[in-house]
Amino acid sequence: MTFTLPPAPDTLEVVRERIRLRPVVEQDLAAMVAYRGDAEVCRYLPFDPQSADDIRGRIGHLFGGTSLEGEQGGVVLAVERVDDGAVIGDLVLFHLDPDAGSAEIGWVVNPAASGRGLATEAVGALIDTAFTVYGLRRVTARIDAENQRSWALAERLGMRREAHFVENAKFKGRWSDLLVCAVLAREWRARA
């Protein structure tokens, strides 16, 4: 059975009670460097602390985009606080498998914004968008097993742990365990 995705939206803005998601643009770089440049933030991420040029080089081709398709397709969204417009993080929806109707999500959040449920609200909005806007059937997240905050966030949102790969890769000088979490669209709808 082949899975058919709807066309990508021309524009994308997702607003919830306290956060707004919208495609990242060049003007977001200063805010992104504030957290992506922090070694502790990058501890479990697949990159070292980043400058504006590093961010451009890694995800700049996705700035302003709304399409998952293509060899390097994906959507990178800024997380803005509704009350003051501050960019407090960014999210990505990528690695589309159109035949399976699935994609991966990832998130980076400024630690100054943590502890208030904003990351949970933002990632939940991204999962909802993956299913309602992009018509995906399944969403996954790959998380370093030592990153307890991220896997706890995934579980709060109803993502189940589907795999725990023990010492599967050398990562930043250590053997790293990888957790794979996932949720299906029908499971997400049932929670709502």
pTM for the full predicted model: 0.95
Q: How far is CA 23 from the centre of its chain?
A: 12
Residue 19 included in any domain: yes
Residue 127 included in any domain: yes
pLDDT per position as a tens digit, 19-77 = 999 999 999 999 999 999 999 999 999 899 999 999 999 999 999 999 998 877 899 99
Domain coverage including residue 132: 14-140
Residue 146 included in any domain: no
Amino acid identity for residue 59 in this structure: I
Residue 36 included in any domain: yes
Helices marked H in 5-146: 29-36, 52-59, 118-132
Quote the number of domains for the chain.
1
Residue 2: band (very low, low, confident or very high) from pLDDT cuts 50, 70, 90: low
Q: Domain of 122: which CATH number? A: 3.40.630.30
Residue 29 included in any domain: yes
Residue 45 included in any domain: yes
